[in-house]
C-alpha cells in the first residue's frame, strides 16, 4: 500500500468537514474521488500533502501514512513532504514566468539541479507531460501565452520536475475543452506507470475511464470504495448507485 | 443613450479641468515664460531682488527628495505589506492595518512640527556623530544644521509608507491562492511562497510605489518645514535645499512684483509637467509589463459547472 489513511477527521474551525475516513491506495494505480460538490473530496485530497496546513483554523485527527510514514507525526516536515507529493490544481496556475522557468522553479528552490542538468531535467519533465513537442522552440515565451490545456500540462510538468512519488490532481480537466481533457486523461494513463495518482473529479465518465479504484464521498464521509469497474457496474451502497446513475448530485 | 451622454459629459469635465489648470498656469506665468524661455529649467539663480529666476535647484530638490523618500520607504512599505498579508497572526492584523492607515490621516503640518522638534535635532546629532572620513564625502558634507535634504526625505518617507503599504497589501491579497499553493506543492517554504506572490503582484506593487512617488513630489508643508529652504543643487544629504512646492508656499504671498509672481506660477507649471510626466511614464511602464505577462488571451471552454 502506498497511502494508508486511518480514521481521519478534519475540521475547518468548529465545522467538521471529514468524518472517520479510512482508505488504502495502491502504488502505480489511479484512484479517483467522486461525489457531489462540498462532499469533502477536495479537502481530503489536500490532507494528503498537508496543503490544508496553510488554512487558518484547520485541524486533523487520525493518521495518513505514505510508505508507512505518518504525515501528521510531529517530526514530519511539511515542506519536504510536499516535494514527494506533487499536486495539480483545478485551474491551471502557471507562474507569470517563462515556460522554462515554470518547470525549473521547483528544481531551483529545492536546489536539485543547475545549468545544463537543469535544462535536461526541464526537458525531461516537459516530455513526461507530453508538452515538449509543442513548446521546445519557445521555452522562453511566457507561460500565460499557452492555451488552457497546454497550461495544465505545463503545471503537470512543473509538478513532475521535483520527482514526486505521488501525484494529486484536483479536477485537473474541469476547465478544459474535450480534446484537451482527452490529452490529460491519456497522460494520466501513461504517468501511472511511474506515479501513484489520486484524482478528484466531478465527471463520472472520466473516473470510469482513467481510474483503477474509485472512492465515493458524500457529506464528508467515505461511502464506498472499490475497484472502478465494480463501483460503476454493481455498487454496494444505494447512495453510490443513486449518485452514479445521476439521481442526485 | 441619454445615460451615456450624461456620464460622458461629466467625464469630459475632468479633461477640461486638467486642461484648464494647465492653461491658467501657462497664462499666469506668461511674463516669466516670455522672459526666460527654456533657460528657466536650467538656471540655478533665484534672485527676486535683481529679477533673475531659474527653477533648477527646485526641480532638483523636488526630485531628489522624492527619490530618496521612495528608496527609504519602499522596502519598509513592502515589508509591512508582506507581514500583514502573509505572516501576521489574524488577531494582530486589523489593529496593525488600522495603525498604518492612521498614519495617512495625520495632517502634513503635524508631520512638519514633529520633523522640526524630533527629526531635525536627531539628524543633526547623527551628522555630528559621524566619523570625519564619512563627513568628508560629498554625500555627507556640510555644516550640521539639521534642516536638510535628509530630514525632508525621512519625513516624506514616513508620510508615503501608509499609501504604498496599503496598496501593496491589497495587491498581495488579490494574488490567487493557487499561486502560493502551487509553490507550496513544489516544496516551497513560507518565505518562498511569499516571493512567488510578490513576483505575481509586481506590477501592482510598482503602481503602489509610483503612487507614493507622486505624493512625495507634491508634498508641501512638512517638507517646507524641515528642508532648510535654500535653493542649491547639492548631493549632500545634510545640505539645506528647496523644493518647487516649498518655494511656492513660502514666497507666493510675499511676491511683490509681477515677474516674481509669474516665476512662481511657472514653477507650479513645471511641477505640474513633471508630475504628469512621472504619471504617464509609470502608466506606460505598467502597460508594458502587463503586455509581457499576457501577450494574448486564448479562449478555453468554460469550466464545467459543479453538479
pLDDT tens digits, residue range A169-186? Answer: 999 988 888 988 998 999
Which cell is B200 given? 505575481
Predicted confidence at residue B56, as pLDDT, reads 94
- Return d(Cα B107, Cα B111) in angstroms, integer: 7
Residue ranges of alpha helices (H) inside B106-176 are 108-114, 120-129, 132-135, 149-173
CB–CB of A93 and B182 under 8 A? yes
Q: Which residues of chain B have pLDDT under 50?
A: 295-307
Q: Is residue B238 part of a domain?
A: yes
Mean pLDDT confidence for A217-239:
92
CB contact, 8 Å: A203 with chain B? Answer: yes
Q: What's the mean per-residue pLDDT of chain A?
A: 91
User: Can you give the residue range of the structural domain that contains B194?
Assistant: 8-293
* Position B306 in a domain: no
A3-12, strands of its sheet edge to edge: A15-25, A3-12, A58-66, A69-70
Residue B256: the pLDDT is: 83
Quick one: which of B41, B69, B60, B13 has its CA closest to B214?
B69
Closest CA to B299 of A175, A173, A140, A249: A175
Q: Do B300 and A49 touch (CB under 8 A)?
A: no
For position B296, what pLDDT does the model report? 44
Please name the CATH architecture into which domain A3-244 falls.
3-Layer(aba) Sandwich (3.40)
**N residues, chain A:** 249
pLDDT of A36-74, one tens digit each? 988 999 999 999 999 988 888 899 999 999 998 899 988
Helices (H), chain B: 2-28, 30-36, 39-42, 56-82, 90-105, 108-114, 120-129, 132-135, 149-173, 177-185, 190-200, 202-218, 221-226, 244-251, 258-293
Instruction: Give Cα B195 distance to the centre of its chain.
Output: 25
Residues of B in contact with A85 (CB under 8 A): 185
Cell output for A51: 496543503
Give yes or no for a contact between A215 and A224, defined as CB atoms under 8 angstroms apart: yes
| Domain presence at residue B298 | no
Q: What is the pLDDT of residue B292?
A: 61
Cβ partners under 8 Å of residue B54, min gap 6 = B36, B39, B40, B41, B42, B43, B44, B45, B46
pLDDT band at A113 (very low <50, low <70, confident <90, very high): confident
Yes or no: say if A8 and A47 are a contact pair by the CB < 8 Å rule. Answer: yes
pLDDT value at residue B300: 41
Instruction: Please indicate whether residue A95 or residue A74 has the higher confidence score (pLDDT).
Output: A95
Cβ separation of A155 and B182 shorter than 8 Å? yes
Of A36, A96, A106, the CB nearest to B307: A36
Do the domain assignments include residue B300?
A: no
Name the DSSP letter for residue A227: E
- Is B200's CB within 8 Å of A96's CB? yes
Contact map slice: A 72-91 vs B, CB within 8 A: 79-80, 82-83, 85-87, 89, 91
pTM for this model (two decimals) = 0.84
- Predicted confidence at residue B294, as pLDDT, reads 54
pLDDT tens per residue, range A118-142 = 999 999 999 999 899 999 999 999 9
> pLDDT value at position A53?
84
Residue B306: its pLDDT value, please? 35
Paired sense of beta strands A15-25 and A58-66, if any: unpaired
In contact, A232 and A69? CB cutoff 8 Å: no
- By Cβ distance, the residue of B178, B183, B293 closest to A142 is B293
Q: Is residue B3 part of a domain?
A: no
Q: Taking CA atoms, what residue in A is nearest to B179?
A: A93
pLDDT value for B293 = 58
The number of domains in chain B is: 1
Residue of A nearest to B298 (CA): A147
Amino acid at each position: 500500500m502506498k497511502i494508508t489513511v486511518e480514521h481521519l477527521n478534519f475540521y475547518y474551525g468548529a465545522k467538521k468537514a471529514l468524518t472517520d475516513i479510512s482508505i488504502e491506495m495502491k502504488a502505480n494505480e489511479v484512484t479517483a474521488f467522486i461525489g457531489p460538490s462540498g462532499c469533502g473530496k477536495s479537502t481530503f485530497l489536500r490532507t494528503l500533502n498537508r496543503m490544508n496546513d496553510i488554512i487558518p483554523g484547520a485541524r486533523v485527527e487520525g493518521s495518513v501514512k505514505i510508505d508507512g510514514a505518518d504525515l501528521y507525526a510531529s517530526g514530519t516536515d511539511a515542506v519536504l513532504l510536499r516535494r514527494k507529493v506533487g499536486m495539480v490544481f483545478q485551474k491551471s496556475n502557471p507562474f507569470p514566468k517563462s515556460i522554462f522557468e515554470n518547470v525549473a522553479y521547483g528544481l531551483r528552490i529545492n536546489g536539485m539541479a543547475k545549468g545544463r542538468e537543469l535544462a535536461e531535467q526541464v526537458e525531461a519533465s516537459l516530455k513526461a507531460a507530453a508538452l515538449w513537442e509543442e513548446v521546445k522552440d519557445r521555452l522562453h515565451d511566457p507561460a500565460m501565452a499557452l492555451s488552457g490545456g497546454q497550461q495544465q500540462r505545463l503545471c503537470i510538468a512543473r509538478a513532475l520536475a521535483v520527482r514526486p512519488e505521488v501525484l494529486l490532481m484536483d479536477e485537473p480537466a474541469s476547465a478544459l475543452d474535450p480534446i484537451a481533457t482527452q490529452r490529460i486523461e491519456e497522460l494520466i494513463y501513461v504517468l501511472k506507470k511511474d506515479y501513484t495518482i489520486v484524482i478528484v473529479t466531478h465527471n463520472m465518465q472520466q473516473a470510469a475511464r482513467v481510474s483503477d479504484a474509485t472512492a465515493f464521498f458524500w457529506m464528508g464521509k467515505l461511502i464506498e470504495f472499490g475497484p472502478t469497474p465494480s463501483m460503476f457496474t454493481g455498487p454496494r451502497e444505494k447512495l453510490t448507485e443513486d449518485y452514479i446513475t445521476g439521481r442526485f448530485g | 443613450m441619454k445615460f451615456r451622454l450624461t456620464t460622458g459629459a461629466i467625464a469630459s469635465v475632468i479633461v477640461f479641468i486638467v486642461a484648464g489648470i494647465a492653461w491658467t498656469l501657462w497664462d499666469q506665468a506668461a511674463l516669466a515664460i516670455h522672459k526666460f524661455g527654456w533657460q528657466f529649467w536650467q538656471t540655478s539663480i533665484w534672485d527676486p531682488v535683481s529679477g533673475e529666476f531659474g527653477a533648477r535647484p527646485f526641480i532638483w530638490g523636488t526630485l531628489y527628495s522624492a527619490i530618496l523618500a521612495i528608496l527609504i520607504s519602499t522596502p519598509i512599505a513592502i515589508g509591512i505589506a508582506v507581514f500583514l498579508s502573509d505572516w501576521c497572526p489574524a488577531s494582530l492584523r486589523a489593529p496593525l492595518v488600522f495603525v498604518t492607515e492612521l498614519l495617512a490621516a495625520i495632517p502634513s503640518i503635524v508631520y512638519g512640527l514633529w520633523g522640526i522638534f524630533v527629526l531635525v535635532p536627531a539628524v543633526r546629532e547623527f551628522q555630528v556623530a559621524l566619523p570625519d572620513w564619512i563627513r568628508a564625502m560629498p554625500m555627507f558634507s556640510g555644516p550640521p544644521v539639521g534642516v536638510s535634504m535628509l530630514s525632508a526625505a525621512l519625513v516624506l518617507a514616513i508620510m508615503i509608507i501608509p499609501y504604498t503599504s496599503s496598496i501593496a497589501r491589497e495587491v498581495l491579497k488579490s494574488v490567487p491562492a493557487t499561486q502560493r499553493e502551487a509553490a507550496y506543492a513544489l516544496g516551497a517554504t513560507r518565505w518562498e511562497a511569499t516571493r512567488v506572490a510578490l513576483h505575481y503582484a509586481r506590477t501592482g506593487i510598482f503602481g503602489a510605489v509610483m503612487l507614493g512617488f507622486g505624493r512625495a513630489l507634491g508634498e508641501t508643508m512638512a517638507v517646507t518645514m524641515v528642508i532648510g529652504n535654500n535653493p542649491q543643487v547639492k548631493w549632500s544629504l545634510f545640505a539645506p535645499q528647496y523644493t518647487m512646492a516649498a518655494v511656492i508656499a513660502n514666497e507666493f504671498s510675499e511676491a511683490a512684483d509681477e515677474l516674481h509672481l509669474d516665476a512662481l506660477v511657472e514653477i507650479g507649471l513645471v511641477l505640474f509637467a513633471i508630475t504628469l510626466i512621472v504619471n504617464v511614464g509609470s502608466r506606460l511602464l505598467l502597460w508594458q509589463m502587463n503586455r509581457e505577462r499576457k501577450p494574448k488571451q486564448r479562449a478555453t471552454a468554460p469550466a464545467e459547472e459543479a453538479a
